[in-house]
C-alpha cells in the first residue's frame, strides 16, 4: 500500500462522504448553470444546426419538423442538456480529479494530469472538427433525394444525428491519448502497436465510415486522416518512451 493511499485511508468514511457530497454539489450546480445557459442559447444553437437545411431549401423543399406537440420544447431541453454537459465539463472534471487525486501516487497523479491536459483540448478540437464537417454530411446525404421531392426532417432525429457524430469524432480524437497512457503504465508496448498498424488502419477506416454514413470518400478521408495522424503521433511517443526505458534499464545493470 502506498503512502498516498494510507494517507487517504486515514480519513473516516463519513469524511469521504462529506467530501464527495460537497464536490458533487459543486459539479451539479455547474451543470445546472450550464443547462440554463444552454437553454437560453438553444435558439442560436439550433439556428447554427439548421444552416445546412436552409442551404438544401434553396434548391428543393426542405425543413425541420416536429411530430409531437411538445417536440419543440423537448428539443430545446435536449440542446440545453448537451450544451450544459459540455460547457460545465471543466468544473465537474476538476471536482472529480480533486476528489481522486489524494489517493493516487505521485506517478499516477502526473499521468492523470498529463492525460487531462492532452485529452481536453483534443476532445474540444474533435468536436469542433465535427461541427465543421456535419453541414457537408447533411447536404451530401440529402442530395440523394430528387429535386422534385421534399426533404422533411424530424427535428429531434436531426439534432441527435448531429450531436452523436460530433461526440463520436470528439471521443475518437482522445483515443490515442489512452494508447499513450497504457504504454506509460507498461500495459502496451510500442512494438505491439507497430506490429498491429494494419489492424489499426482498418479500425480507423471502419470507424470513419460509420460516423460519416454517406457515399462520400472525401468525408471519410477527412475523419480518417487526422485520426491516423494522431495515432501515428501516439506510436512515436510510445516508441521514444520505450527506448528511454530500455536505455535506463541497461544503465542500471
**Virtual torsion, Cα 175, 162, 120, 74, nearest 10 deg:** -130
pLDDT at residue 44 greater than cutoff 80: yes
When the pLDDT of each residue in the chain is averaged and rounded to a whole number, the result is 83
The pTM of this model reads: 0.77
pLDDT at residue 214 greater than cutoff 60: no
Residue 3: the pLDDT is 43
pLDDT at residue 56 greater than cutoff 90: no
Long-range pairs for 183-190: beta carbons < 8 A, 24 or more residues apart:
183/237, 183/238, 183/241, 183/242, 184/111, 184/241, 185/111, 188/238, 189/238, 189/242, 190/235, 190/238, 190/239, 190/241, 190/242
Residue 1: the pLDDT is 42
Residue corresponding to grid cell 427535428: 155
% residues pLDDT > 90 (the chain): 21
Residue 213: the pLDDT is 61
pLDDT tens for 229-248 read 999 999 999 999 899 888 88
pLDDT at residue 122 greater than cutoff 70: yes
Greater pLDDT, 135 or 6: 135
Question: Among 133, 125, 124, 121, which residue's Cα sits nearest to residue 221?
Answer: 133
Residue 9: the pLDDT is 47
Q: Which of 25-29, 113-117, 212-216 has the highest mean pLDDT?
A: 25-29
pLDDT tens for 78-94 read 999 988 988 888 888 78
Residue 6: the pLDDT is 42
Amino acid at each position: 500500500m502506498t503512502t498516498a493511499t494510507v494517507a487517504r485511508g486515514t480519513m473516516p468514511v463519513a469524511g469521504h462522504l462529506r467530501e464527495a457530497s460537497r464536490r458533487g454539489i459543486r459539479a451539479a450546480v455547474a451543470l445546472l448553470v450550464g443547462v440554463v445557459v444552454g437553454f437560453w442559447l438553444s435558439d442560436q444553437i439550433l439556428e447554427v444546426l439548421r444552416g445546412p437545411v436552409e442551404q438544401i431549401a434553396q434548391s428543393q423543399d426542405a425543413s425541420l419538423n416536429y411530430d409531437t406537440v411538445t417536440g419543440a420544447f423537448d428539443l430545446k431541453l435536449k440542446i440545453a442538456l448537451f450544451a450544459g454537459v459540455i460547457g460545465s465539463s471543466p468544473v465537474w472534471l476538476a471536482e472529480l480529479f480533486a476528489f481522486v487525486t489524494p489517493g493516487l501516487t505521485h506517478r499516477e497523479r502526473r499521468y492523470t494530469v498529463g492525460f487531462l491536459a492532452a485529452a481536453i483540448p483534443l476532445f474540444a478540437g474533435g468536436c469542433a472538427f465535427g461541427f465543421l464537417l456535419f453541414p457537408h454530411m447533411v447536404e451530401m446525404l440529402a442530395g440523394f433525394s430528387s429535386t422534385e421531392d421534399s426533404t422533411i426532417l424530424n427535428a429531434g432525429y436531426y439534432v441527435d444525428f448531429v450531436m452523436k457524430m460530433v461526440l463520436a469524432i470528439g471521443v475518437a480524437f482522445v483515443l490515442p491519448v489512452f494508447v499513450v497512457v497504457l504504454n506509460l503504465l507498461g500495459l502496451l508496448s510500442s512494438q505491439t502497436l507497430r506490429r498491429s498498424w494494419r489492424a489499426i488502419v482498418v479500425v480507423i477506416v471502419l470507424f470513419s465510415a460509420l460516423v460519416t454514413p454517406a457515399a462520400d470518400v472525401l468525408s471519410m478521408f477527412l475523419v480518417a486522416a487526422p485520426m491516423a495522424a494522431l495515432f501515428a503521433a501516439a506510436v512515436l511517443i510510445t516508441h521514444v518512451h520505450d527506448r528511454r526505458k530500455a536505455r535506463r534499464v541497461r544503465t542500471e545493470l
